Amino acid sequence: MSALERAVRGAKNDLRLHALGVFSVAVAFLCLGATLLAVVNVDHARQRWASLGRASVYLTPRASKEQVAAIERALRASEGVTTVRHVTAEDARRDAAEVGKDALIDALPAEAFPESLEVSVQKDVRPERLEQLAAELRALPAVESVETYGSWSERIESLLAGGVAAATILALVVLAAVVSVVSSTIRLSLQRRKLEVEVLKLVGATEGYVREPFVIEGAAQGALGASFAIVLLGVLYLVVQSHLDQRLVALFGSAPTFLPWPLVLVTVVLGAVLGALAAFWSLRRFVTT
Partner 1 sequence: MDAGGDRRAFRPALRAGARFDPLAAGRPVLVFEGVHKAYRADAPVLRGLSLEIARGEFVFITGNSGAGKSTLLRLLYAEESVDAGRILFLGREIARLTPSSIPYLRRNLGIVFQDFRLVENWSVLDNVALPLEVLGLPARTIRQRVGAVLERVGLSGRGHERAGHLSGGEQQRVAIARAIVSEPALLLADEPTGNLDPQLALDILGLLEDINETGVTVLFATHDRTLLDVRPRRVVVLDEGRAFDAPQGLDEEAKLASLDGPLPTRGAAA
Member of 15, 16, 62, 288 binding partner 1 (CB under 8 A)? 288
Beta carbon of residue 221, minimum distance to partner 1 (angstroms, whole number): 21
Contacts of residue 265, defined as CB under 8 A and 6 or more positions apart, other chains included, come to none
Closer to partner 1 by CB, 46 or 193: give it: 193
Residue 237: enclosing H or E segment and its boundaries? helix 207-252
Q: Beta-carbon neighbour count of residue 35 at 10 Å?
A: 19
Closer to partner 1 by CB, 216 or 230: give it: 216
Beta carbon of residue 247, minimum distance to partner 1 (angstroms, whole number): 56
Beta carbon of residue 187, minimum distance to partner 1 (angstroms, whole number): 19
Per CB under 8 A, does 15 bind partner 1? no
Beta carbon of residue 220, minimum distance to partner 1 (angstroms, whole number): 18
Beta carbon of residue 209, minimum distance to partner 1 (angstroms, whole number): 5
Number of residues that bind partner 1 (CB under 8 A): 20
- Alpha carbon distance 247, 227 (integer Å): 29
Closer to partner 1 by CB, 162 or 208: give it: 208
In angstroms, what CA-CA distances link 100 with 28, 48, 244, 250? 36, 19, 11, 6
- Alpha carbon distance 205, 6 (integer Å): 13
Closer to partner 1 by CB, 139 or 195: give it: 195
Per CB under 8 A, does 8 bind partner 1? no
Closer to partner 1 by CB, 213 or 225: give it: 213
Beta carbon of residue 9, minimum distance to partner 1 (angstroms, whole number): 8
By the 8 A CB rule, do 226 and 271 touch? yes
Closer to partner 1 by CB, 54 or 193: give it: 193
CA contacts within 13 A on the Cβ side of 27: 8
Member of 13, 83, 151, 168 binding partner 1 (CB under 8 A)? 13
For residue 95, count CB atoms less than 10 angstroms from its CB and return exposed for 0-12, middle for 13-18, buried for 19 or more.
middle
Interaction mask 196-215, partner 1, x per CB under 8 A: x-xxxxxxxxxxxx------
Per CB under 8 A, does 118 bind partner 1? no
Closer to partner 1 by CB, 49 or 280: give it: 280
What values do phi and psi take at 67, rounded to 5? -60, -45
b/e map 199-228, b = 16+ CB within 10 Å: ebbeeebeeeebbbbbbbbbbbbbbbbbbb
Contact set with partner 1 (CB under 8 A): 1-3, 13, 195-196, 198-209, 288-289
